[in-house]
Chains A and B, each alone.
Chain A
């Protein structure tokens, strides 16, 4: 009886091995197009509660679809726990690549490593993780240089003296600090430009409205507001309109969101930095496709230049890029 059960087990193992080898042989001999046709790509986005990230997510998804993949968007809602849960689903569901916009430069590393251990390559878009051995590549906005240019224009517009407020993005995101440091690398050289308040509004329009309303009560005579993204610039502008100060206080944003670009054309917001989300999303999707087809040599980080959008250049920009 024991011999018989051993024999059955051996036969079953052999059958599994043969099936495995056969299927390996099939996938190995199939064309890249066949692989692409059946493969799934996950697009994990920090938040969809911001039009800029919606453009990033949808462009990544659409480019992946154009390349022949089934693509799904996962919204992390700026919550690292939700992001971790998405990764568990992705690993369990047999995705072949992740196009990833992280919620936290340090906190998201573990998720990328989890996918890597499961053999799923990750391609970061726009936001960085603080590791160079986890993601296959990271396509990132050159936030620092963009804000250096924005800072120089700020001095030109506001002058070498005055008071201003800075609204920061998510404090755990490298982009927040690259933007802030780029801006301050210029502004701090002018000792008569005084920052009267610096507060986080989490890249969120509604929060920026609330935060600036509160700051204005203590500092009613500011000259300018520098916002770490355009959603916050819209919220800040709204707060200034409500306070009857929109004509006096100069607002600067960062992202190149369509609504801000339109307000720059109307002379209501002074400037922003165009980040090219479509370029970043398309580059990440194409890199994932190349990886799946066998390419392995990718630069770890590819910065994408940010361009200044102001009253003189606004005509060159629209639809989240150059016209």
Chain B
């Protein structure tokens, strides 16, 4: 008995189904376009945008705390300042571009000798007095003093500046509460922080640093 071959017409639905299946598989993996809800598209766009708060938090935890171990001893810095400010800048300072000011990342220990509304004064071991801010933080003392961030790595300076503002917020939220609670004359503490210093022609009465780490022994 001889079976007759299926006709082209009878095989057409099978072929069409196979082609449609292949097409669907290709579309799934390599879509020419994909329709997404507007809300989802906005969320994706926001996720792709730079998040300064997130960047600053990661920088604070991953780089800044490690960098704190390498901060220059503030007593040593003050000693070099008294001899040659330019030499101190060359050796330990960080300048942002063509700035005349320099920023430093410093550490030290000492005893609180004065408590003001937004600042405490500390007599440091090794001689000298520094101020530690306890009020609102402005500027870029930590971002620039740490020397760990480069403006050229950011697509625009707005992001670079937004990171600095977020770092300042972290200081206010995580460092100040503990410091303000225990700040009293006679209390000893260990500190690490950033400080901006004016050019060599400007006389400095006192370094006022922005703290990153405060420890009470």
Complex alpha-carbon distance, A299 and B136, angstroms: 33
In the assembled complex, B54 has its CB within 8 A of some CB on chain A: no
Bound-state CA distance A234–B58 (Å) is 43
Tell me whether A301 and B157 are in contact (CB under 8 A): yes
Give the residue of A140, A142, A148 whose beta carbon is less than 8 angstroms from that of B138: A148
Contact A302 to B157, CB < 8 A, known contacts A151-B138, A152-B138, A186-B138: no
Q: Given the complex of chains A and B, what is the CA–CA distance between A151 and B101 in angstroms? A: 18
Q: Contact between B138 and A303 (Cβ–Cβ < 8 Å)?
A: no
Contact B158 A174 (CB under 8 A): yes
What CA separation (Å) do A67 and B157 show in the bound complex?
Answer: 30
Q: Roughly how many angstroms separate A117 CA and B79 CA in the complex, as a whole number?
A: 53
Which chain A residues border B157 with CB–CB below 8 Å?
Answer: 128, 140, 143-144, 174, 178, 301, 303
**A303 near B96: Cβ-Cβ < 8 Å:** yes
Decide yes or no whether A304 CB sits under 8 A from chain B: yes
Say whether A181 contacts B158, CB under 8 Å.
yes
Chain A hits for B101, CB < 8 A: 305
- Kindly list chain B residues whose C-beta atoms are within 8 Å of the C-beta of A107: none
Complex contact A303–B99 (CB within 8 A): yes
What's the nearest-Cβ distance from chain A to residue B109, in Å?
A: 29
Asked if B99 and A142 make an inter-chain contact with CB atoms under 8 angstroms apart, the answer reads yes
B161 engages A279 (CB within 8 Å):
no
Q: Provide the residues of chain B in CB contact with A299, threshold 8 Å.
A: 97, 152
**Given that A142-B97, A181-B158, A279-B98 are contacting pairs, would A132 and B152 also be in contact in the complex, using a CB cutoff of 8 Å?**
yes
Taken together as a complex, chains A and B put the C-alpha atoms of A178 and B161 apart, in Å, by 8
What residues of chain B lie closer than 8 Å to A145, measured between beta carbons? 96, 139-140
CA distance A185 to B164 in the complex (A): 10
Category for how many chain A residues contact B: 20 to 34
Question: What total of chain B residues lie within 8 Å of the partner, measured CB to CB?
Answer: 22
When the two chains form the complex, which single residue of B96, B155, B156, B158 contacts A142, counting CB atoms closer than 8 Å?
B96
CA A184 to CA B192, docked complex, whole Å: 27
Closest chain-A Cβ to B156's Cβ sits at a distance in Å of: 5
CB–CB B152/A305 < 8 A: no
Q: Give A71 Cβ to nearest chain B Cβ, in Å.
A: 22
Least Cβ–Cβ distance between A53 and chain B, in angstroms: 19
A75 to B217 alpha-carbon distance, docked (Å): 63
In the assembled complex, the Cα of A297 lies from the Cα of B71 at a distance in Å of 30
Residue B151 lies at the interface, judged by CB distance under 8 Å to chain A: yes
Task: Tell me which of B99, B139, B158 contacts A304 (CB under 8 A).
Answer: B99
Contacts of B156 in A (CB 8 A): 105, 128, 130, 174
Q: Of residues 134 to 164 in A, which have CB atoms within 8 Å of B's CB atoms?
A: 139-140, 142-145, 148-149, 151-152
Quick one: given A144-B161, A145-B139, A151-B138, are A132 and B155 in contact (CB under 8 Å)?
Answer: yes
- Tell me whether B165 is interfacial, beta carbon within 8 Å: yes
Contact B138 A300 (CB under 8 A): no
Is A131 on the interface with B (CB-CB < 8 A)? yes
B155–A130 touching, CB < 8 Å:
yes
Contact string against B for A residues 272-310, beta-carbon threshold 8 Å, 1 for contact and 0 otherwise: 000000010001000000000000000111111101000
Chain A positions within 8 Å of B, measured between CB atoms, are: 105, 128, 130-132, 139-140, 142-145, 148-149, 151-152, 174, 177-178, 181-182, 185-186, 189, 279, 283, 299-305, 307
B-side interface residues toward A, CB under 8 Å? 96-101, 136, 138-140, 151-152, 154-158, 161-162, 164-165, 168
Listed A/B pairs (22) with beta-carbon separation below 8 Å: A128-B157, A130-B156, A132-B155, A140-B97, A145-B96, A145-B140, A148-B138, A148-B139, A149-B139, A152-B138, A181-B158, A181-B165, A185-B165, A186-B136, A189-B136, A299-B152, A301-B151, A301-B157, A303-B98, A304-B97, A305-B97, A305-B100
19 additional contacts (CB under 8 A) given A182-B161, A303-B157: A128-B156, A128-B157, A132-B152, A140-B157, A142-B99, A144-B161, A144-B164, A145-B96, A149-B139, A174-B157, A174-B158, A178-B157, A283-B98, A301-B151, A301-B152, A303-B99, A304-B97, A305-B98, A305-B99
